[in-house]
C-alpha cells in the first residue's frame, strides 16, 4: 500500500511539474517547426533544376517553378495589378542545371519584382519602383525599369544622373531632374559615390533620398521630383470606385492600388468611419477622397511619400452648440438609390439669409396670431 501511494505521489508530482511548461513547450515546438521549414527552404533553393518555361503566363511560370523545386511560392495580387497584361502577362525562360535561387532571381528580374522569405515559403511582390507607377505599367516602362535595375553603376560624373541615358544605352530623353542648388547636387552625387558600385536603381534611390525626392518612370522618361509633387501627381490619377456601404478600409486599399500611394490610417479611423458610400467613374483620386471627407468628416494630409488619413474631430467639438439649431436639410440623391442628407445649422448661414429667415418667421408668427385671435375671443 505504501509503495502504491509513493507511485501515485510520483505521478502527481510529474503532472504538476509538466503542467506549467505546456505553453513554453508549444512555443518551442512552433519555433522548431519554423526553423525546420526555413532550413528546408534553404536546401531547396540551393538545389539545381532544369526547366523550360516556353511562353506561359506569369502565374503558370511560378506554379511550374514551385512544382519543380518542391517549394511554396505565393504571388501577391498587387503583382498582377501592375504588370502590363495582368495575370495574362507572358514570360519565357529556360533554365538548365541552375540553382532554384538563381532561377527565381532571373524571373523576378525580368518582371521588376522582388522576393521575400516568409518562414518556409517565398513571397513575390512588386518592387518599389514598379509600385510607384500606381497602375499597369506599359511595356516601355517595364523595359526601362528592367534596364535601370540591371545596370551596375561603377563611376559617375558631377552631372549624374543627367547622363544616365548614355549609361543605359537606350534611346530615352534626358532624365527630368528637380531644380536644386549646386551644393545640393554635389552633396547628392557624393552620397551616390560612397555607395558605388551598385545598380542604377539603388543609385537613384540614394540620389533621390539625399534630395528628399523620389524617382519614377513615366512612359519612356525617368523623373526625379519632390515627394509632395509626386504625391499630388498621383492624386490626379483617374479612379473607378463603386462603393455602397462598403468598409472604408477596403475603399482606401482600392485607392492605394490605383494611385501607388500608401494611405496610412490614423488611430481610430476605421472605428469612427466604418463604412462609406462613394462612386467615381474616372474622377481623380483627390476628388474621391474629398467626397468621402465631405460625407464623413475624415481628413487627409501629405506626409513624405504617403497620405495620412485621420478620423473626424470628436463629436463634442463639432456637435450641436447652444443657440445653434438646425435650420434645414438638403437631400442629395446618389447612386443605387442612396441619399445623402446634409443638415444646415444657423451658424452656417450668412447674415443676409438669417435676416430673411427671421423676417419670414416673424411673418408666419403674425399670421398665426391673426388666425388664433378669433378663437381666443369666442366664449
Q: What is the pLDDT of residues 197-252, one digit of tens each?
A: 999 999 999 999 898 888 988 888 888 888 888 888 888 888 888 888 889 999 99
Closest CA to 200 of 158, 166, 234, 176: 166
More confident residue, 79 or 10: 79
What is the tens place of the pLDDT at every residue in 75-121?
Answer: 998 899 889 999 999 999 899 999 999 999 999 999 999 999 887 88
Average pLDDT across the chain, whole number: 81
Average pLDDT over residues 269-283: 87
How far apart (Å, rounded) are the C-alpha atoms in residues 261 and 320?
A: 36
Share of the chain residues as helix, strand and coil, in percent rounded to the nearest 5:
50, 25, 20
- For β-strands 306-310 and 262-265, DSSP reports them as parallel
pLDDT at position 11: 37
**For the domain 236-316, what is the CATH code?**
3.55.50.30
- Checking if the pLDDT of 265 tops 70, the result is yes
pLDDT at position 12: 38
pLDDT at position 73: 92
Residues 6+ apart with CB under 8 A from 171: none
pLDDT at position 336: 56
Beta bridge partners of 340: 332
As a dihedral over the C-alpha atoms of residue 362, residue 365, residue 366, residue 368, rounded to 10 degrees, the angle is 160
**pTM for this entry:** 0.64
pLDDT at position 293: 87
DSSP tally for the chain: helices H, then strands E: 16, 16
Beta bridge partners of 242: 279
Average pLDDT over residues 177-185: 80
Distances (CA, A) of 21 to 25, 27, 198: 6, 10, 50
- Checking if the pLDDT of 6 tops 80, the result is no
Beta bridge partners of 224: 215
What is the tens place of the pLDDT at every residue in 308-338?
Answer: 999 987 644 455 566 677 777 777 776 655 5
Which grid cell sits at 46? 540551393
**CATH 3.55.50.30 location in the chain:** 44-126, 236-316
- Checking if the pLDDT of 10 tops 50, the result is no
For the domain with range 44-126, which CATH number is right: 3.55.50.30, 3.40.50.300, 3.30.230.70, 3.20.20.80?
Answer: 3.55.50.30
pLDDT at position 376: 53
Going 11 to 14 to 16 to 18, the CA torsion angle's sign is: negative
pLDDT at position 75: 93
Nearest-Å Rg of the Cα atoms of the chain is 32
Closest CA to 143 of 153, 155, 154, 129: 129
123 pLDDT tier (thresholds 50, 70, 90): very high
Percentage of residues in the chain with pLDDT exceeding 70? 84
* Residue 308 near residue 264 (C-beta atoms within 8 A): yes
**Helices 139-150, 200-210: inter-axial angle, 10-degree rounding:** 90
pLDDT at position 225: 85
Average pLDDT over residues 72-77: 91
How far apart (Å, rounded) are the C-alpha atoms in residues 99 and 78?
A: 27
Which grid cell sits at 148? 535601370
Amino acid at each position: 500500500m505504501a509503495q502504491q501511494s509513493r507511485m501515485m505521489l510520483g505521478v502527481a508530482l510529474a503532472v504538476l511539474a509538466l503542467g506549467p511548461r505546456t505553453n513554453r513547450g508549444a512555443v518551442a515546438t512552433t519555433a522548431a517547426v519554423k526553423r525546420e521549414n526555413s532550413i528546408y527552404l534553404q536546401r531547396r533553393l540551393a538545389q539545381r533544376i532544369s526547366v523550360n518555361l516556353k511562353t506561359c503566363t506569369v502565374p503558370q511560370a511560378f506554379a511550374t517553378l514551385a512544382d519543380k523545386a518542391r517549394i511554396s511560392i505565393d504571388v501577391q495580387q498587387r503583382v498582377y495589378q501592375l504588370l502590363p497584361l495582368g495575370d495574362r502577362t507572358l514570360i519565357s525562360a529556360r533554365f538548365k542545371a541552375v540553382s532554384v535561387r538563381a532561377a527565381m532571381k532571373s524571373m523576378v528580374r525580368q518582371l521588376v519584382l522582388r522576393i521575400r522569405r516568409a518562414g518556409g515559403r517565398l513571397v513575390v511582390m512588386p518592387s518599389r519602383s514598379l509600385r510607384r507607377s500606381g497602375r499597369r505599367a506599359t511595356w516601355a516602362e517595364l523595359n526601362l525599369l528592367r534596364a535601370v535595375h540591371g545596370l551596375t553603376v561603377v563611376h559617375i560624373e558631377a552631372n549624374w544622373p543627367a547622363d544616365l541615358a548614355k549609361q543605359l544605352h537606350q534611346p530615352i530623353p534626358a532624365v527630368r531632374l528637380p531644380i536644386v542648388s549646386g551644393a545640393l547636387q554635389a552633396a547628392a552625387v557624393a552620397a551616390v559615390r560612397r555607395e558605388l558600385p551598385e545598380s542604377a536603381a539603388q543609385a537613384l534611390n540614394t540620389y533621390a533620398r539625399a534630395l528628399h525626392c523620389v524617382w519614377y518612370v513615366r512612359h519612356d522618361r525617368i523623373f526625379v521630383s519632390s515627394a509632395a509633387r509626386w504625391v499630388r501627381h498621383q492624386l490626379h490619377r483617374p479612379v473607378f470606385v463603386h462603393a455602397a456601404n462598403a468598409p472604408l478600409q477596403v475603399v482606401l486599399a482600392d485607392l492605394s492600388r490605383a494611385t501607388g500611394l500608401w494611405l496610412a490610417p490614423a488611430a481610430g479611423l476605421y472605428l469612427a468611419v466604418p463604412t462609406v458610400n462613394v462612386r467615381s467613374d474616372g474622377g481623380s483620386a483627390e476628388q474621391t477622397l474629398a467626397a468621402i471627407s465631405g460625407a464623413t468628416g475624415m481628413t487627409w494630409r501629405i506626409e513624405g511619400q504617403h497620405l495620412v488619413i485621420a478620423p473626424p474631430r470628436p463629436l463634442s467639438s463639432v456637435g450641436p452648440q447652444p443657440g445653434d439649431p438646425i435650420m434645414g436639410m438638403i437631400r442629395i440623391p446618389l447612386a443605387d438609390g442612396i441619399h445623402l442628407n446634409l443638415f444646415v445649422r444657423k451658424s452656417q448661414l450668412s447674415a443676409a439669409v438669417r435676416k430673411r429667415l427671421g423676417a419670414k418667421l416673424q411673418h408666419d408668427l403674425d399670421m398665426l396670431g391673426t388666425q388664433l385671435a378669433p378663437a381666443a375671443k369666442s366664449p
